[in-house]
Amino acid sequence: MNQDVHLSYSQISTYLTCPLRYKFQYVEQIPPAFTSAPLAFGSAIHEAVAAFYQTYLEGDFLTPDQMLDVYRDVWRQKEDIRFFNGDDEISLLMKAEQLLGVFHESFEPSTTVLGVEEFFAVEMDHLPPFQGYIDLIERSLAGQVSVVDLKTATKKPSKGNIQSNLQLTAYSLGASGLGFDPEDLNLRLDVLVKTVCRQRKWESEMGIFRGELVTLR
């Protein structure tokens, strides 16, 4: 089997959402006509937060301004960005500054970071291996290990959306491939909510998902 052939959460999610888009993106590999501003924004925020956690793991501590520098660097790498809903590069930069400041203020320094963008590969019966990256693995002061998916959104997700989050299911499978027992993990969705950033509020949703997890066997 070709070593490059694998399954990922993005592939599965795209196929379930729109099989035609899956065909264009993963089979025919047609590049997108443009990059949407929300996608570019979310990607740049994600990289800035990942950089914070990575430097913290290495014994350093990024300031909000340094996180914003990471955001700017990632943003500059995006091409053909298309804006929506009255946003432009400056307005999104201001939102990024607020959101990253909110995140920085809300970080709990007693948390032990165990892994950032942790790669996993799980062998599957009669299927290509399932591969991906876990945004964050951390351990609380009380000893609880959490696997975290970080998102940006315009509103706080509902409990139903959290419970049906397929990426958390994928993270559970990936964590098992890294040697963690899924039954002992807290699977958590952290959401930076753009619409409430002016209130200096970090929105975080936690959920313990045990049992009834997809094993893809």
The four Cα atoms 123, 146, 62, 117 give a dihedral, to 10 degrees, of: 10
For the chain, helix, strand, coil in percent to 5 are 45, 25, 30
Q: How far apart are CA 57 and CA 104, in angstroms?
A: 15
Q: Length of the chain, please? A: 217
Quote the pLDDT of residue 32.
Answer: 87
Q: Is the pLDDT of residue 128 over 60?
A: yes
- Give the integer Cα–Cα distance in Å for 67 and 154: 21
Amino acid at 66: Q
pLDDT over threshold 50, residue 200: no
Residue 165: pLDDT over 60: yes
What percentage of the chain has pLDDT greater than the value 70?
88
pLDDT band at 112; cut points 50, 70, 90: very high
The torsion angle over the Cα atoms of residues 91, 195, 67 and 109, rounded to 10 degrees, is 160
Higher pLDDT, 126 or 194: 126
Top-confidence residue, 155 or 204: 155
Point out which residues pair with 205 in neighbouring strands: 189
Q: Render pLDDT for 45-67 as a digit per residue (tens, 0 to 9).
A: 999 999 999 999 999 989 999 99
Nearest of 183, 184, 147 to residue 168 by alpha carbon: 147
Q: How far is CA 201 from CA 122, 140, 156, 195, in A?
A: 37, 21, 11, 10
Domain boundaries, the chain: 35-106, 112-206
Contact 177, 133 (CB under 8 A): no
pTM, 2 dp: 0.82
- Give me the residue label for tokens 């930069």: 93
